[in-house]
Amino acid sequence: MTELLRVRDLRVDFGAGREAVRGVDLSIGRGETLAVVGESGCGKSLTALALLGLTPPAARVSGSAKLADTELIGRGDRELRRIRGDRVSMIFQDPMSSLNPTTKIGTQIAEVLAIHTSMSRSARLRRAVELMESVGITDAAARARQLPHELSGGMRQRVMISIALAGAPDLLIADEPTTALDVTVQAQVLALLRERTRDTALLFITHDMGVVAEIADRVAVMYAGRVVETGTAREVLESPRHPYTAALLRSVPDPDRPPTGDLPTIPGQVPAVGERIEGCAFRSRCARADDECGTAPELSGDGHVAACWHPHTGTRTEVA
Ligand SMILES: Nc1ncnc2c1ncn2[C@@H]1O[C@H](COP(=O)(O)OP(=O)(O)OP(=O)(O)O)[C@@H](O)[C@H]1O
Ligand SMILES: [Mg+2]
């Protein structure tokens, strides 16, 4: 598989030792979906925003992110604006924050086309309706004349997907795109994303292991600004190596086992950004931790890698 995105030692630093992303490596092939998963605050969104040059002004970004041969880190605003939408685009959790509440849906899609194509105004509006149809919006011509609040959450997210894909980007980033949707609509939107990104690399951010199972080819588990485990979805979900991954999996229902009442949560807290981390960042919450964990473990393994001195070796059922 051709590697399309290659991220190396990506860091996002807010100054005075407040490093929120602490050296992330990722890679995604064409047509592949990588799910980035981890608890709130572990640096998933900042990692994605860094790829688009959209981190907050106070953040200093370093490292490398190559999309094919294009380096994304350290680019000027003008270049990044050209790359965004054309080569990389992003879908956020809440489409209302990305859509203009007072502009008709069709006009908003046409405006995006104006940036990326040389189509005439009427051609853009026709294309906007086609794009809406292509993401399964029925009665698209009438819908195109409606305002965002007149559409359901699922419909709005479909609109965002059509906008994100309008410029035929190589890489689509989706940051918790279905969290606000109910389960049935979530499944439909995931199916649509899967189908529409067959030839596009998809970086899918979620904290939901159930969603990971549905969409991912490969998984990167993040903890405290680092990737602590990566592998195929099957490897990571069925035989988690890192105790953190195993704990995340314990907190979602196992479809193969009867429900056993309340799901356990992981005791303790993710270290705050700027908190001094010595050794493995997970060690204060980890049942397997010992003195060795005072030294930070590197990712190790073959293909399926984990940063742990005492990784699990069994299947999910055995480690749970
Ligand atoms: N402008 C900022 N200044 C300082 N710290 C920040 C800033 N923006 C984000 N952070 C911190 O960086 C950390 C990582 O944030 P990020 O949004 O990437 O987390 P996340 O994994 O996406 O979490 P969630 O699942 O809640 O979306 C958080 O602890 C957050 O408080
Ligand atoms: Mg986030």
All residues at 6 or more sequence positions from 285 whose CB lies less than 8 Å from its CB, including other chains: 244, 247, 266, 267, 268, 269
In this structure, what CATH number is given to the domain that contains residue 210?
3.40.50.300
Residues constituting the chain: 320
Q: How far apart are CA 315 and CA 317, in angstroms?
A: 5
What's the confidence (pLDDT) of residue 63? Answer: 98
What's the confidence (pLDDT) of residue 73? Answer: 96
Q: How far apart are CA 32 and CA 202, in angstroms?
A: 6
Q: 17 with 151, same domain?
A: no
Q: 109 with 71, same domain?
A: no
Among residues 167, 193, 215, which one ends one of the domains?
Answer: 167
Q: How far is the CA of 92 from the centre of ligand 2 (A)?
A: 9
Neighbours of 91 (CB within 10 A): 24
Q: What is the DSSP string of 162-223?
A: HHHHHT--SEEEEESTTTTS-HHHHHHHHHHHHHHTTTSEEEEEES-HHHHHHH-SEEEEEE
Among residues 104, 137, 167, which one ends one of the domains?
Answer: 167
Please count the structural domains in the chain.
Answer: 2
Q: How far is the CA of 176 from the centre of ligand 2 (A)?
A: 7
Ligand nearest to the CA of 226: 1
Per-residue pLDDT of the chain (320 residues; tens, 9 = 90+): 789 999 999 999 999 889 999 999 999 999 999 999 999 999 999 999 999 999 999 999 999 999 999 999 999 888 998 898 889 999 988 888 889 999 999 999 999 888 888 899 999 999 999 999 989 999 999 999 999 999 999 999 999 998 998 888 999 999 999 988 888 889 999 999 999 899 999 999 998 898 999 999 999 999 999 999 999 999 999 999 999 999 999 887 766 666 666 667 788 888 999 899 999 999 999 999 999 999 999 999 999 999 999 999 988 877 75
Q: 264 with 304, same domain?
A: yes
Q: DSSP 3-state assignment of 6?
A: strand
How far the first Cα of the chain sits from its last, in Å, is 33
CA nearest ligand 1 atom 3, residue: 14
Say if ligand 1 is within 6 A of residue 273 CB: yes
Nearest to 89 by CA among 184, 203, 3: 203
What's the confidence (pLDDT) of residue 85? Answer: 80
Q: DSSP 3-state assignment of 240?
A: coil
Q: How far is the CA of 47 from the centre of ligand 1 (A)?
A: 10
Q: 155 with 176, same domain?
A: no
Ligand 1 binding pocket mutation candidate from 42, 222, 277 (most atoms within 8 A of CB) = 42
Q: 218 with 81, same domain?
A: yes
Q: How far is the CA of 290 from the centre of ligand 2 (A)?
A: 31
Ligand 1 binding pocket mutation candidate from 11, 12, 13, 14 (most atoms within 8 A of CB) = 14
Say if ligand 1 is within 6 A of residue 280 CB: no
Q: 122 with 180, same domain?
A: no
Q: 163 with 173, same domain?
A: no
CA nearest ligand 1 atom 30, residue: 41
Q: 186 with 214, same domain?
A: yes
Say if ligand 1 is within 6 A of residue 45 CB: yes
Q: 130 with 272, same domain?
A: no
- Domain of residue 151 covers 95-167
What's the confidence (pLDDT) of residue 260? Answer: 62
Among residues 144, 167, 190, which one ends one of the domains?
Answer: 167
Q: 229 with 156, same domain?
A: no
Q: 51 with 71, same domain?
A: yes
Ligand 1 binding pocket mutation candidate from 39, 44, 60 (most atoms within 8 A of CB) = 44
Q: What does the angle CA 140 – CA 141 – CA 147 come to, to the nearest 5 degrees? A: 80
Say if ligand 1 is within 6 A of residue 12 CB: no
Residue carrying structure tokens 């399926």: 304
H or E, element range at 16: none
Say if ligand 1 is within 6 A of residue 57 CB: no
Q: 227 with 252, same domain?
A: yes
